[in-house]
Structure 1
Amino acid sequence: MITMDDEPVPIYGTLSKAEAWRLQRHYFPSKLGGYPAWLNPVDLPEENELHCDICSSIMTFAIQVYAPDDIYEENDAFHRVIYTFVCQPCGTNWKAFRSQLPRQNDFYDYHPVDDNIIFPDSELISNCCLACGLPSNKVASEPIPNINSLKVALVDSETEFRELHYRCNIAVKYGSLSPVLDEWILNICEGEIAHDEDYLSHEKSLYEKYIDNKNAGEEEMTRAEEEDVENMQEENKTIDESFMKFCKKTTPNEVLYYCRGGEPLWISDRSPRPVIDGANLSANDESEIMVPKCESCSGPRSFEFQILPQLLFYISSDRIEFGSVSVYTCSKSCKISGYQKEYILFEKDYSMVPKPRSDD
Structure 2
Amino acid sequence: MASSDSENSDNSESSIELGFVQRLEIGQQWRLHRCYFPSKIGGKPAWLNPKDIPKTDDLKCSLCGKAMALLLQIYAPNDDNSDTFHRTIYVFCCKSESCYEHNSNIPFRVLRCQLSKDNEFYDRNPPDYESPEYFKSCKNFIEVCRVCGFAGNKTCSRCHKASYCCKEHQTLHWKFHKVTCGSDSHDSTAGVDDGFFAGDLMFPEYEIVMETEESNSCDVLSQDELPEANGQFSPSELEQFANVNLVGQEFSSFRKITATSPDQVLRYDKAGSPLWCSGDNKLSSDKVPKCSCGADRYFEFQVMPQLLNYLNVQNTIDGPSIDWGILAVFTCSADCQSAGQSYHLEYLHKQDFEQIQS
Q: TM-score, normalised by structure 2?
A: 0.72
Q: 1:316, CA displacement in angstroms?
A: 1.1
CA distance in structure 2 between the partners assigned to 1:234 and 1:107 by the alignment: 49
Equivalent residue letter for 1:155: F
Provide runs of 4+ in structure 1 moved above 4 Å: 5-8, 136-141, 150-154, 201-205, 230-235
Q: 2:140 aligns with which of 123, 126, 130?
A: 123
Q: 1:271, CA displacement in angstroms?
A: 2.2
Which residue of the partner structure matches residue 109 of structure 2?
A: 95
Structure 1 residues 293 and 154: CA distance shift in structure 2, 3 A: farther
Q: 1:46, CA displacement in angstroms?
A: 3.5
Equivalent residue letter for 2:96: P
Which residue of the partner structure matches residue 345 of structure 1?
A: 349
Q: 1:67, CA displacement in angstroms?
A: 0.4
Across the aligned residues of Structure 1 and Structure 2, the Cα RMSD in angstroms comes to 3.6
Q: Is the 8 A contact 1:131 1:180 kept in 2?
A: no
Q: 1:3, CA displacement in angstroms?
A: 3.7
Structure 1 residues 325 and 137: CA distance shift in structure 2, 3 A: farther
Q: 1:108, CA displacement in angstroms?
A: 0.4
Which residue of the partner structure matches residue 89 of structure 2?
A: 82
SS in structure 2 of the partner of residue 64 of structure 1: strand
Question: Gapped runs of 5+ residues in structure 2?
Answer: 8-14, 101-106, 164-170, 182-196, 232-237, 315-320
Could you say which structure has the higher helix fraction? 1
Structure 1 residues 233 and 79: CA distance shift in structure 2, 3 A: closer
The reply to whether residue 4 of structure 1 matches residue 3 of structure 2 is yes
Deviations 1:37-94 (A, max 9, x none): 100011112332200011110001110000001245xx11100000000100145311
SS in structure 1 of the partner of residue 267 of structure 2: strand
CA distance in structure 2 between the partners assigned to 1:233 and 1:27 by the alignment: 38
Deviations 1:309-357 (A, max 9, x none): 010011113242111111110011123441001111111243xx343x8
Alignment of 1:193-232 (within 5 A): 194=216, 204-207=226-229
Q: Is the 8 A contact 1:31 1:185 kept in 2?
A: yes
Alignment of 1:142-221 (within 5 A): 142-144=160-162, 153-157=174-178, 178-192=200-214, 194=216, 204-207=226-229
Which residue of the partner structure matches residue 17 of structure 1?
A: 23
Q: 1:244 aligns with which of 248, 252, 255?
A: 252
Q: Is the 8 A contact 2:71 2:93 kept in 1?
A: yes
Which residue of the partner structure matches residue 262 of structure 1?
A: 272
Q: 2:303 aligns with which of 280, 301, 307?
A: 307
Of structures 1 and 2, the larger Rg is shown by 1
Q: 1:112, CA displacement in angstroms?
A: 1.0
Which residue of the partner structure matches residue 163 of structure 1?
A: none
SS in structure 1 of the partner of residue 64 of structure 2: coil
Alignment of 1:32-111 (within 5 A): 32-71=41-80, 75-90=82-97, 92=100, 93-111=107-125
Q: TM-score, normalised by structure 1?
A: 0.71
Deviations 1:136-195 (A, max 9, x none): 5656573339xxxx997453559x9xxxxxxxxxxxxxx996222111111111134645
Structure 1 residues 321 and 136: CA distance shift in structure 2, 3 A: farther
Equivalent residue letter for 1:348: D
Equivalent residue letter for 1:343: Y
